A and B are shown apart, each in its own frame.
Chain A
């Protein structure tokens, strides 16, 4: 009987493809939008993820994220270094600046000053060049977002920039996760950064700390807070705060939530309508089957098989569509590093199951309510 159910469904090509399209569209919308949402949120922690060697970030108590930080006096570095359990501590500065290119374009950039001696604070990998280039005068390393945006058709290596009215030369390209706003980032030594970014008396944004025992980073961060009066967070905590900041301060969750809800509603509407039409068109056949002696249980299984087939194909197409979308845009810095967390296809699957469960149940009601005697009328 399951075979008959499948043939009934696929025999009506128009409705079959309508149902598959409805599920595929819903799955695509839900999966793709949730994927972009999650990846965008994670961009709130990109500043933390780019510095993989730091176990703990120490900052002014009012600082919230890598991009929303209040500068500390330089003595903070020494205070942190004096805390037992700290293996190393280095200064880290993050500030905004303006760049004028040789073509006269103006670009707002983020300048990140990394430790002069160890270069801790740089992203782990380079697209071009090496971290050592920072030892040369006026050197900066640009991230790949900056490369694409400011030098779309040429290599930026060797290009000179007017960075806050001072000379800077690009000598490398870092493989960095873009920030939430996809701002161009220039990495330079801490001492250079102090020159490039004029400011107030206090200039130190963060102190990056390596723990003697990385597994006890949480305990160490609490000790640093106790002994220095500064705010200290483990890498995971600070990354989470970066994500939370975006959730709290932007309309992104609401907007994406609305789109995902629309995906669900559109799915219910398209699939529900098509499924109802399909059942209505076949109600005589279902009535005949019931009269012949097909139980309601078998009818339920038949409709479930039809829904299952539509769901399987539609869901597969929707997820494939999302994978295609992510792959197609992977070279665009805006989507750099985007991936589909395994939880998202499961959420989409649950949504598809709900859509089919709801619409299948509504359609099934009319079949179950049909009296077999109706076939004689």
Chain B
């Protein structure tokens, strides 16, 4: 059996609220496999954003161990961790966070440029990715000239252009109607799910639960369900 893409062991995370210490995650043990679309589901305040942030190396756990493709990411130095994220993780943010003053192709090319690739070459590869997402003809447009769905595709292109091994999506369908949401999810399945790539989606949109290969339900900082379908009581 191959090693899991992500492996968390006894991950705990505390936050300080004044004098009070609030524990948001309580010893999470989790394995996420490559080649699957894994949903992380839970109510607001359940700890799913904290967990996803820890799993992709942008928030330190208070305790525990996180391995991404075999690398204990919190054993890395700060710079090594940033480098690791740049080379191995693609992010799709809920609000896209595109840079408003550069065109779609340049936005999609940001990770490649951050890796040091020549701008023109990075743009060419980004345009190819945009074409794969059926918005190649929008490559020269600024984000404010694109519809919400098109902006999201640009964000997806940005997450995938550097061929990361882990793709993390934060509420990808939250701002979309049901049919647009499904189209985005179909698209993600088509381009983001691969044999050597893990794809984790944080969501509480029950309209798309049937598209998951695996659903992890988080409640009060504890994984209460791990299966291919949502539990009956949700």
Are A7 and B82 within 8 A (Cβ)?
no
Q: How far is the CA of A298 from the CA of B86 in the complex (A)?
A: 13
Cβ of A287 under 8 Å from chain B: yes
Name the B residues within 8 Å of A376 (CB-CB).
49, 52-53, 58, 93-94, 170, 202
Q: How far is the CB of A15 from chain B (nearest CB, A)?
A: 11
Partner of A287, one of B49, B97, B170: B97
Are A3 and B99 within 8 A (Cβ)?
no
Q: How far is the CA of A272 from the CA of B93 in the complex (A)?
A: 30
Are A284 and B101 within 8 A (Cβ)?
no
The tally of residues in A whose CB lies under 8 Å from a CB in B reads 27
Are A293 and B101 within 8 A (Cβ)?
no
- Knowing A292-B86, A292-B91, A292-B110 are in contact, say whether A7-B97 is a contact too (CB < 8 A): no
Q: Which residues of chain A (1-21) have a CB below 8 Å from chain B?
A: 1, 3-4, 7-8, 10-12
Say which one of B23-31, B111-119, B177-185 lies at the interface with A: B111-119
Q: Which residues of chain B (103-161) have a CB below 8 Å from chain A?
A: 106, 110-111, 113-114, 119, 158
Q: Tell me the nearest residue of chain A to B79, going by C-beta.
A: A295
Cβ of B102 under 8 Å from chain A: yes
Q: Which residues of chain A (286-322) have a CB below 8 Å from chain B?
A: 287-295, 298
Cβ of A373 under 8 Å from chain B: yes
Binary A-proximity of B186-230 (CB < 8 A = 1, otherwise 0): 000000000000000010000000000000000000000000000
Q: How far is the CB of A169 from chain B (nearest CB, A)?
A: 72
Are B114 and A293 within 8 A (Cβ)?
yes
Partner of A11, one of B87, B94, B100, B111: B100
Partner of B86, one of A8, A12, A282, A293: A293
Q: How far is the CB of A286 from chain B (nearest CB, A)?
A: 9
Q: How far is the CA of A7 from the CA of B170 in the complex (A)?
A: 27
- Knowing A1-B114, A285-B97, A287-B97 are in contact, say whether A293-B82 is a contact too (CB < 8 A): yes
The 6 lowest CB-CB distance pairs between A and B, nearest first, are A11-B101, A293-B86, A288-B97, A372-B58, A373-B53, A373-B59
Question: Which B positions have Cβ atoms within 8 angstroms of A?
Answer: 49, 52-53, 56, 58-59, 79, 82-87, 89, 91, 93-95, 97-102, 106, 110-111, 113-114, 119, 158, 170, 202
Q: A3-B119, A4-B106 are in contact. List 5 more A-B contacts (CB 8 A).
A: A3-B113, A11-B100, A293-B86, A373-B53, A377-B49
